Amino acid sequence: MKQTIALLAAAVGLAALAAPASAQQQPVQRHLVYNFSVGVQDDSHDTDASIKLTGGPTPGDNYGSGNTSYASLTSDTGTIDVDIFGVESDGGLVVKVEEHAQRTNRTLNAVACVVYPTTNTVCGDGQVNPEEMAVLRTLSPRFFDPSSLDVKHHWHEGNDAAGISLDFTAGVPTGTLVPITEDADQKTGGVQGNTLHGTDTYTYDMSKNVATELKEYDTIRRQTGVGQYTNSIIDITATLATDSVTAKN
């Protein structure tokens, strides 16, 4: 199994990884359009502001300590287009994702990705926003398998040894619709240590094999230096608006 891609990479807007070439070699089998809304709140802090009081920098300079902070808030709405090309031999779903935002510079060019049943998503060259990743993560046709649930209707993904834990619980279906909740935790070590906690809900349509509604609420702490960190809250909702096929076999 491929190493689970860190949720933080998408959450903080980092560039994705090696480009899947398959998306350029297959015809589009399905086209999805999701309406989305996203809110991002960032609070940056420096707990040791190291304010220089005299001269320098030379030995003996006098430094003071302080706590500086600033906050920013961004929100937007728009659409996320997903072209589905098919499933590779290793179970990865080959897709291309493109975002069209209404108010800010969140609009991005199309990027090819491969989505695995574990929610592990590997994307090619280019930027992938958190709202795009939220839509992609559950698109594998093998994401939800009722036969693999434990007695509490639960299943677990991720890599606990690497600090990635994804716990899913399926609720009582209404027709073909299954409510699914996810509790996500991720930790990365080192000087630039980061943590993420996500509380997510999905309405999963078993006839379409995709989530038709989703809500993700992620709280992220990124260590940016000694005594410096940023807290972020990312609040995402998305609803399936257009599906080029009525159901997947």
> Cα 56–57–61 angle (5° rounding)?
65
Phi and psi, residue 7, nearest 5°: -60, -35
The model carries a pTM of 0.80
Strands 154-159 and 63-64: unpaired
Low-confidence ranges of the chain (pLDDT < 50): 1-6, 12-19, 49-58, 60-64, 247-249
pLDDT, residue 241, reads 97
pLDDT, residue 162, reads 83
Half-sphere exposure of 127 (CA within 13 A, CB side): 13
pLDDT, residue 10, reads 53
User: In the structure encoding, which two tokens stand for residue 206, read together?
Assistant: 């078993």
pLDDT, residue 225, reads 73
